[in-house]
């Protein structure tokens, strides 16, 4: 049976070089030498500056803002690597942009997540490694293997270090209830949910709290925040219902200017997130960033060695990454 050669090469674009360097430090391989720059007219230019013929190549590039620029960099890098005769190409996309456009929920709109999957496959990607897709069915849009990791083991390990007074894990909407239930079960905490109504793409309204939060420390969990509308409106109603304090945990913090403003003025005490994207500092508000280099690095090592990545899904304070 065909076996990928033993040598691994890790490359990165300009989206999150620091994360790629930390992954390489964990794996114990140097970051590959590649030139990624732009022409004066904005076109992306890529050149791989070392031999990758027959190598097992991993390209680390989250599709965070500027989303389209970073996505094009990934596609062009894949094409360059494929034409340089790499044996296998794995796209490591810690944050998969466009995952929210996963269905045709209005007339005459695209399913952009499927389009991005097609583009990556057409460019020459053989495998995808990603984390906390906004909608898990996006993994099924690919006709190539997708390893879908979760930030929960990293975040829960941090939560176990904290002291909480009667903790309750809260999902800010119905869609996140399964994730919140998993956190609550591991922490031995209560579970509640906030019912919300979305007014627009940037504004939501919290309507009610289902569950007991009075006198409890509340941990809001979600996969993604950008404008922070869902989190801050949920925090407001939770405090109104008697929550002792409210913190939020999200896998991806793609914080916009509006999001930073809302966080500063919110009832939230802290936002715990990962460095799946470059984490923005919010003056006057506590943002705690947890490093996922070991999680992704371990996933990459196991893919390279044809080992199972299933154990990386386990949520346990004893989990060793």
- Residue ranges per domain, the chain? 8-150+293-313, 153-290
> What are the pLDDT digits (tens) for 230-260?
999 999 999 999 999 999 999 999 999 999 9
Q: Which of 196, 236, 317, 320 is catalytic?
A: 196
CB 144 within 8 A of CB 192: no
DSSP state of 60: E
Scan for tokens 């154990």, then name that residue: 311
Whole-number pLDDT of residue 319: 38
In this structure, CATH architecture of domain 8-150+293-313: 3-Layer(aba) Sandwich (3.40)
CA torsion, ordered 78, 80, 83, 88, to nearest 10 deg: -30
Residues, the chain:
321
Distances from the Cα of 53 to the Cα of 129, 179, 306, angstroms: 22, 41, 20
Q: At what angle do helices 67-83 and 112-123 cross, to 10 degrees?
A: 20
CA distance 73 to 30: 21
Whole-number pLDDT of residue 9: 98
CA distance 92 to 294: 13
CA distance 310 to 203: 37
How many CB atoms lie under 10 A from the CB of residue 284? 8
Whole-number pLDDT of residue 320: 37
Taking the model in full, what pTM does it have? 0.92
Binned at pLDDT 50, 70 and 90, residue 52 comes out as very high
Whole-number pLDDT of residue 195: 85
Whole-number pLDDT of residue 224: 94
Of 19-28, 46-55, 167-176, minimum mean pLDDT range: 167-176
Q: Would you say residue 72 has pLDDT above 90?
A: yes
The mean pLDDT value for 300-309 works out to 93
Please indicate whether residue 199 is annotated as part of the active site: no
CA distance 60 to 74: 8
CATH code for the structural domain at 153-290:
3.40.50.2020
Average pLDDT, the chain: 92
The mean pLDDT value for 135-141 works out to 91
CA distance 152 to 160: 12
- Phi, psi dihedral angles at 247 (to 5 degrees): -120, 160
8-150+293-313 and 153-290 share one CATH topology? yes
Q: Would you say residue 102 has pLDDT above 70?
A: yes
> What are the pLDDT digits (tens) for 203-214?
666 678 999 999
Binned at pLDDT 50, 70 and 90, residue 318 comes out as very low
């Amino acid at each position: 049976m065909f076996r990928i050669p033993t040598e691994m090469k890790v490359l990165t674009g300009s989206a999150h070089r620091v994360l790629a360097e930390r992954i390489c430090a964990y794996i114990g391989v140097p970051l590959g030498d590649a030139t990624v720059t732009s022409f004066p007219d904005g076109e992306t230019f890529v050149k791989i500056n070392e031999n990758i013929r027959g190598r097992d190549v991993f390209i680390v590039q989250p599709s965070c803002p500027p989303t389209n620029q970073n996505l094009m960099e990934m596609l062009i890098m894949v094409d360059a690597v494929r034409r340089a005769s790499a044996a296998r190409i794995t796209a490591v996309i810690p944050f998969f942009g466009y995952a929210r456009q996963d269905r045709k929920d209005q007339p005459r709109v695209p399913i952009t997540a499927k389009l991005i999957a097609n583009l990556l496959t057409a460019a020459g990607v053989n495998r995808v490694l990603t984390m906390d897709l906004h909608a898990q069915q996006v993994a099924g849009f690919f006709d190539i293997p997708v390893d879908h990791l979760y930030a929960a083991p990293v975040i829960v390990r941090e939560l176990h270090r904290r002291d909480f007074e009667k903790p309750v894990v809260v999902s800010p909407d119905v869609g996140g209830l399964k994730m919140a239930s998993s956190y609550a079960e591991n922490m031995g905490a209560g579970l509640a949910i906030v019912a919300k109504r979305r007014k627009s793409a940037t504004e939501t309204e919290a309507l009610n709290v289902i569950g007991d939060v009075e006198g409890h420390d509340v941990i809001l969990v979600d996969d993604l925040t950008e404008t922070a509308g869902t989190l801050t409106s949920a925090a407001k109603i939770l405090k109104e219902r008697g929550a002792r304090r409210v913190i939020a945990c999200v896998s991806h913090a793609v914080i916009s200017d509006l999001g930073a403003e809302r966080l500063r003025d919110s009832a939230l005490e802290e936002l715990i997130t990962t460095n799946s994207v470059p984490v923005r500092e919010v003056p006057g508000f506590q943002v705690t960033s947890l490093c996922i280099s070991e999680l992704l690095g371990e996933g990459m090592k196991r893919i390279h060695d044809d080992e199972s990545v299933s154990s990386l899904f386990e949520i346990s304070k004893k989990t060793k990454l």
